[in-house]
Amino acid sequence: MDRSWMNHKGVKDRQKPEYLAGFNEFLHFAFIGKSDGTMLKCPCLNCRLVLSQNRKNMQCHLLVYGIDPTYNPWVSHGESIQEIDNDKEGYIGEVSDNEKASTEHESTSPKLTYREKRRLEQAELRLKFPDRKRRGPARSKKYGPRMWNSNSKEKIKINFMDELCRVVGEKANEFIYDCSKWVQEYCPVDSWNWAKMDKVAKTRLYYKIRGKYDLPEKVAGADVTEALSFQCSMLYKHWRFRLKEQHFRNKSVADAISSRPNTIDVGPWTWLVCEYWNNEKQKHISKVNTKNKLKQTETPANGARSTARIFHDLINAPPTPTNSRT
């Protein structure tokens, strides 16, 4: 049995038909004769056969994190080593000289980071298609001009993906745009992190969101406020990151203070620059994060869609037909 699909490298590989067909075959084999609610050891790269999941959660984990490529045979799910040996063919074809040469070239050529690969790809595309259409408008231009009547009794229904506690569906982009705008309006920048954010500010923010959007009561068995808090914490983090890139990076402390945005008061901005960004611990964390980011060699395959939306579409797609094992 061909299990080359298990040797995946990032999100891009896990969206290919080979991986989708392979992991659906694994789920069919693991849960054959069992109910979908049965808890089995999960072979994803996060659980690594230590934690157990039901079928739906395991399906999500195998898409989000990927299957452990070293898990072969599937002994924790009823497969024996003898079954694997019977599936293997006795003859392995010889490798041609051309294949050897290409393999040696790949092993000796330096690996580019995803940023370097992205720059090269974009440069080639600009040369090949000088008149090609660029990306569409950003969220701020697309949803900003839309006015919503605050007195309207009809709210916009929002769906969450239980497995990732993220917003999905047709209104996901509009919801994220509004939450990002309201986070900047209600949440002060002088907070060490979201967990230490002023409770009054959080309450006002959640009240504003609930005023426009119809939210479910529960997400993944917990109150929807937890999923809402997680979503807003990410938006708060991204907002402060953008501020740092625009007003602090490669500048002196004095220049950073003087480049304060008009929407932020002097006191909170001074604290953010002097006490937070200029803190030695935060400098070290930022340096480590940048170093790790530059090591990445996989080009993000998400495009305009979030990871949650990609996997939500994959999970809800019609199942790939697989041949049942005898």
- In sequence order, which ranges of 9-161 are alpha helices (DSSP H)? 11-14, 17-30, 55-64, 81-87, 97-108, 114-128, 139-143
For tokens 């993906």, name the residue. 161
pLDDT value, residue 96? 47
Average pLDDT over residues 100-104: 49
Q: Which of 291, 241, 309 is nearest to 115 (CA)?
A: 291
pLDDT value, residue 311? 72
For 79, the enclosing helix (H) or strand (E) is none
d(CA 288, CA 292): 6
pLDDT, tens only, 39-79: 999 998 888 888 888 888 888 888 888 898 888 888 888 88
pLDDT, tens only, 216-240: 999 888 899 999 999 999 999 999 9
pLDDT value, residue 257? 94
pLDDT value, residue 94? 44
Rounded to the nearest 10 degrees, what angle do helices 224-247 and 199-212 cross at? Answer: 110
> Is residue 226 a contact partner of residue 206, using CB atoms and an 8 Å limit?
no
Contact partners, residue 223, CB within 8 Å, separation at least 6:
217
pLDDT, tens only, 135-184: 555 655 566 556 556 566 688 999 888 777 788 888 888 899 999 999 99
Q: Of 92-96, 210-214, 241-245, where does mean pLDDT reach its minimum? A: 92-96
Q: For all residues of the chain together, what is the average pLDDT?
A: 79
Q: Of 17-21, 91-95, 150-154, 211-215, where does mean pLDDT reach its minimum? A: 91-95
105 confidence band (pLDDT: 50, 70, 90): very low
Q: Is the peptide bond before 73 cis (omega within 30 degrees of 0)?
A: yes
For residue 76, which phi and psi values (nearest 5 degrees)? -75, -5
pLDDT higher than threshold 60 for residue 190: yes
d(CA 199, CA 221): 23
* 53 DSSP β-pair partners: 40
Q: Is 271 exposed, middle or buried (0-12, 13-18, 19+ CB in 10 A)?
A: middle
> Is residue 219 a contact partner of residue 162, using CB atoms and an 8 Å limit?
yes
Q: What is the pTM of this model?
A: 0.65
92 confidence band (pLDDT: 50, 70, 90): very low
Beta strands in the chain, from DSSP E residues, in sequence order:
40-41, 52-53, 156-157, 159-161, 166-168, 213-214, 218-219, 222-223
- The conformation of residue 67, written as its DSSP 8-state character, comes to B
Average pLDDT over residues 251-267: 93
Residue 82, token pair as written in the block: 């003898």
49: left (phi over 0), alpha (psi -120 to 50) or beta: left
Alpha-carbon distance values, 150 to 91, 147, 202, 212, 217 (Å): 71, 9, 20, 7, 22
Q: Which amino acid is at 193?
A: N
Alpha-carbon distance values, 272 to 65, 269, 275, 282 (Å): 34, 5, 6, 11
pLDDT, tens only, 267-297: 999 999 999 999 999 889 888 887 777 766 5
| Residue predicted with more confidence, 88 or 144 | 144
Average pLDDT over residues 242-271: 92
